[in-house]
Amino acid sequence: MLLLLFVMVWFAGLDDRALTRPDEGRYSEIPREMAVTGDWVTPRLNGLKYFEKPPLQYWASAFAYNAFGQHNWTARAWPAVTGLLGLLFVFGIGYRLYGKETALAATAILASSLWYFAIAHINTLDMGLTCWMTLTLAGFLYAERTGATRAERAAGMHAAWAGMALAVLSKGLIGIVLPGGVLVFYSLWQRDLRLWDRLHIGTGLLLFFAITAPWFVWVQARNPEFSEFFFFHEHLARFTSHLHRREGAWWYFIPILLGGMAPWTLLFVSRLRHIWALLRKPKPFHPERLLVVWSVFIFLFFSASGSKLPSYILPMFPALAMLMAPSVVQTSPRAHAWNFAASCLFGLVFVGAVLSIERFGTDEIPVELFEDMRPWLAVTVAALSVGTALAWYWRRQAATLGPVLAVALCSLIAWQGVGYAHNALSPATSSYHLVREIVAREGPLAPDVPFFSIQTYEQTLPFYLKRTMTLVDFYDELNLGLELEPEKGIPRIEEFVPVWQALAEGYATMKPGVFDDLRAAGLPMRELGRDTRRVIVSRQ
């Protein structure tokens, strides 16, 4: 019954929340175009070649669109499913290493950690990457564990190679660079270079390239410009420079890690001394050392990168959950109470912020939208409070797993509340509501009539319009596609004016200020609808 309840809560809300800008719009639209065009080799965004990431998630989402239709939930299905699959990998290897109770605790801790849960319910590529990297980690642990048979060693190592291949197809070369770096430092710490002889490198590489090579060869054959952009611009330049304007301080990921571990943050910090004691004990195979190297290497790797985004360190979280679980089930009632009281305080901070909402309102996100968050944040605080009370009660009854499961389930409900609270801002962060209002009032927009996006590109708009747009005086991440197919864009707004005037019918979207300027210049435009960020008009 708990498992059924967990699955229901896990998948709740995928369709209720509007897709938000920019990532959810981008990673929903690329597979939509793939499904519509039937081109499963060359990814395209807004009809333009887009080589920033490999296609595994695009393929999965396109398949979901073809099977079940284009919806919010099918756009988010892959992160949610791979997030759940990652939990199964953690349970499986935790069971083999530590037993059933610890495996359940590790799975519950990971599932209910704020950042893991959040990324599993947002349409980005990071959960898919984390899932397959977790398979890589679990496969290696399975193969190297004490008592593994020869057949189990081979199966585990090949699972790890398959995990790296799928990670590469999910987000690029970090799928093999990160596990490779971890293995180097772990083998040095253990002073055991013989483990490299147990990697099944020959058959492992054959499996790795059998999974990854077909698409890379095929896309390069069709697009000669692919390799230079993908390997140098998207990997080397992204790591070594600030080209993508995503720089951050050296401590950038520290608050993300501590906040993302909620509601387990204080327990995690309090368990560090226990974990350190385990690391000092030599073992022929030392899973705790591997888990620590995995976590620290990923954290330092992205901290050193010239490009930082909050979701980059997500692959740490499965390893941290496995490190915490053996000691958390033995934690005293007082430690549980303090930890979960801190979680309640965390929720109260959100409510306090909403009570002084006038500080957050802007022209683009009005105060009224923030006020709509209040009921859902109240759900968050209530759920965390119930979890704290249950944990305190069961721990006083000498239960070990009960407090962990209670807090985990209540935290899942709490984080769903946060998701719905954020959805209250969707009239400003998504074009979902605007498109629905226009279609309800004007009827469906004609699919064969030209549609222009002037000096802006709203990532969610093509998905909800079910069509691409002609970009006017806008480049940004679509610069490569426009360079390769310049006929699909209009470089300057001055060149757009005569094109628009010559049309019998047409649609366009732009920011309100641009609309005011063009209308003042005498361009014929009828406003179909607007929100705080954009205006949509027709030629007549």
Of the candidates 426, 448, 476, which is a domain's last residue?
426
Q: What is the DSSP string of 473-489?
A: S--GGGHHHHHH-GGGE
Q: Are residues 419 and 445 in the same domain?
A: no
User: DSSP letter at 378?
Assistant: H
pLDDT of residue 348: 66
Q: Range of 105's domain? A: 86-330
- Chain centroid, CA 141 distance in Å: 25
Of the candidates 373, 396, 426, which is a domain's last residue?
426
State which H helix or E strand residue 386 sits in: helix 374-396
Q: Are residues 205 and 303 in the same domain?
A: yes
Whether 421 and 380 have beta carbons less than 8 Å apart is answered as yes
Q: Are residues 363 and 395 in the same domain?
A: yes
Residue 139 maps to a domain: yes
Say whether the peptide bond before residue 179 is cis (omega within 30 degrees of 0). Answer: no
CA-CA distance, 153 to 409, in Å (whole number)?
35
What residues does 471 pair with on adjacent strands? 453, 489
pLDDT of residue 534: 93
Q: Which amino acid is at 354?
A: V
Please tell me the pTM assigned to this model. 0.94
Q: Are residues 376 and 235 in the same domain?
A: no
DSSP3 helix / strand / coil % (the chain, rounded to 5): 70, 5, 25
Residue 192 maps to a domain: yes
Extract the residue ranges of the chain whose pLDDT is less than 70: 237-246, 329-358, 395-399
User: Among candidates 441, 450, 430, which has minimal Cα distance to 534?
Assistant: 430
Three-state SS at 53: coil
User: Among candidates 525, 526, 366, 536, which has minimal Cα distance to 434?
Assistant: 536
pLDDT of residue 307: 80
Q: Are residues 208 and 111 in the same domain?
A: yes
Q: Are residues 403 and 465 in the same domain?
A: no
Task: Measure the CA dihedral 449/450/454/458, to 10°.
Answer: 70
Say whether the peptide bond before residue 512 is cis (omega within 30 degrees of 0). Answer: no
Residue 499 maps to a domain: yes
Long-range contacts of 59-66 (CB under 8 A, 24+ apart): 59/31, 59/34, 60/31, 60/128, 61/27, 61/28, 61/31, 61/32, 62/31, 62/32, 62/34, 62/35, 63/35, 65/31, 65/32, 65/35, 66/35
Of the candidates 374, 405, 426, which is a domain's last residue?
426
Write the CA distances from 245 to 96, 144, 239, 479, integer angstroms: 43, 41, 11, 15
Q: Are residues 154 and 287 in the same domain?
A: yes
Residue 457 maps to a domain: yes
pLDDT of residue 398: 57
Helices 265-279 and 333-355 cross at an angle (nearest 10°) of 140
What is the strand order of the sheet 535-538 is part of? Answer: 489-490, 470-472, 451-454, 507-510, 535-538, 526-530
Residue 42 maps to a domain: no
Q: Are residues 304 and 251 in the same domain?
A: yes
Three-state SS at 198: helix
What are phi and psi for residue 22, nearest 5 degrees?
Answer: -95, -30
pLDDT of residue 389: 78
Helices 401-423 and 2-11 cross at an angle (nearest 10°) of 20
Q: Are residues 243 and 390 in the same domain?
A: no
Total domains present in the chain: 3
Number of Cβ atoms within 10 Å of the Cβ of 494: 9
Residue 283 maps to a domain: yes
Q: Are residues 321 and 381 in the same domain?
A: no
CA-CA distance, 501 to 416, in Å (whole number)?
48
- Classify the C-alpha dihedral 123-128-131-133 as positive or negative: negative
Q: Which amino acid is at 348?
A: L
Residue linked to tokens 């590109």 = 457
Q: What is the DSSP string of 338-368?
A: HHHHHHHHHHHHHHHHHHTGGGT--SSS-HH
User: DSSP letter at 490?
Assistant: E
Q: Which tokens sit at 126?
A: 């990071």
Q: Are residues 534 and 510 in the same domain?
A: yes
Residue 53 maps to a domain: no
State which H helix or E strand residue 528 sits in: strand 526-530
Residue 439 maps to a domain: yes
Whether 434 and 534 have beta carbons less than 8 Å apart is answered as yes
Alpha helices in 223-263 (DSSP H): 226-227, 237-240, 253-260
What residues does 526 pair with on adjacent strands? 538
Q: Are residues 234 and 91 in the same domain?
A: yes
